[in-house]
Chains A and B, each alone.
Chain A
């Protein structure tokens, strides 16, 4: 009973089915999705990120932020994503067409970041939170990213404009200040670019919630 060829064929056919169904078909349906142009304002959505924010996306990937933060808002009534303010509307495929690596995420050890740019636009908050999350969010289990900052001696011209304003219990040695490195600045630019504030035809922001 040498049914090797039959077995071989069956093995290939079964996987071929989902390869067509779950790989090629989605690519056919979504792979050419393009920007949406508002007919009234002619505003184009989404926009590609600027260079700083794009660099920041690379740090987001490299530091593995995805293992605790998702970037997808589920629809109203399914989970409490919108009620928590993680987004004004559910996420749609179009939101991601300019992402180099799509990091939807599968864990919410930390909050969803789809709309973090609107929720926390303040540079100071973002830097302090990255430097040591306990400063802004006591009890957080997020690791400190102090290695993205430099502790330098305060120069003759006084403190750096970017220097972190740290509360006393977190302050560094007198005469020194903590300044964000280029990586930290790029990462924060990326985080500030994450916004879910534009209407798209497939998922409109509820009018009473929109400003």
Chain B
């Protein structure tokens, strides 16, 4: 059980530390800029924004 205690104590310090470093790296290297452009990823030239898909049911069956 001492081993588990050590693992817990070690990770309490280590894991958030690594997380903060990663966040700093992400911010500095510009990973977090232009964030909401990614909302356009489901679309492409053939099915661009503004074009509905899957409209396959006729009115009389609705």
Residues of A at the B interface (CB closer than 8 Å) are 1-3, 5-6, 9-10, 13, 16, 20, 24-25, 27-28, 31-32
Q: Which of A1, A20, A27, A32 has the most CB of B within 10 A?
A: A1
If the complex has contacts A6-B22, A10-B19, A16-B11, are A28 and B1 also in contact, measured as CB distance less than 8 A?
yes
If the complex has contacts A3-B32, A20-B8, are A32 and B19 also in contact, measured as CB distance less than 8 A?
no
Closest A residue to B21 using CB positions: A9
Tell whether, in the assembled complex, residue A1 and residue B31 are in contact, meaning their CB atoms are under 8 Å apart.
Answer: yes
Tell whether, in the assembled complex, residue B4 and residue A28 are in contact, meaning their CB atoms are under 8 Å apart.
Answer: yes
Closest B residue to A31 using CB positions: B1
What residues of B have a CB within 8 angstroms of the CB of A9 in the complex? Answer: 18-19, 22
- Dominant SS among interface residues on chain A: helix
What residues of A have a CB within 8 angstroms of the CB of B38 in the complex? Answer: 1
What residues of A have a CB within 8 angstroms of the CB of B26 in the complex? Answer: 3, 6
How near does chain B come to A178, taking the closest CB pair, in angstroms?
52
Counting CB contacts under 8 A, is B51 at the interface? no
- Dominant SS among interface residues on chain B: helix
Q: Interface readout for B2-34 with A: 1 if CB under 8 Å, 0 if not?
A: 001101100100011011001101100011111
How near does chain A come to B39, taking the closest CB pair, in angstroms?
13
Tell whether, in the assembled complex, residue B5 and residue A28 are in contact, meaning their CB atoms are under 8 Å apart.
Answer: yes
Tell whether, in the assembled complex, residue B32 and residue A24 are in contact, meaning their CB atoms are under 8 Å apart.
Answer: no
Tell whether, in the assembled complex, residue A6 and residue B31 are in contact, meaning their CB atoms are under 8 Å apart.
Answer: yes
Kindly state the separation between the CA atoms of A204 and B50 in the bound complex, as whole angstroms: 69
Closest B residue to A17 using CB positions: B15
Tell whether, in the assembled complex, residue B8 and residue A24 are in contact, meaning their CB atoms are under 8 Å apart.
Answer: yes
How near does chain A come to B15, taking the closest CB pair, in angstroms?
6
Tell whether, in the assembled complex, residue A20 and residue B19 are in contact, meaning their CB atoms are under 8 Å apart.
Answer: no
What residues of A have a CB within 8 angstroms of the CB of B25 in the complex? Answer: 6
Tell whether, in the assembled complex, residue B4 and residue A2 are in contact, meaning their CB atoms are under 8 Å apart.
Answer: no
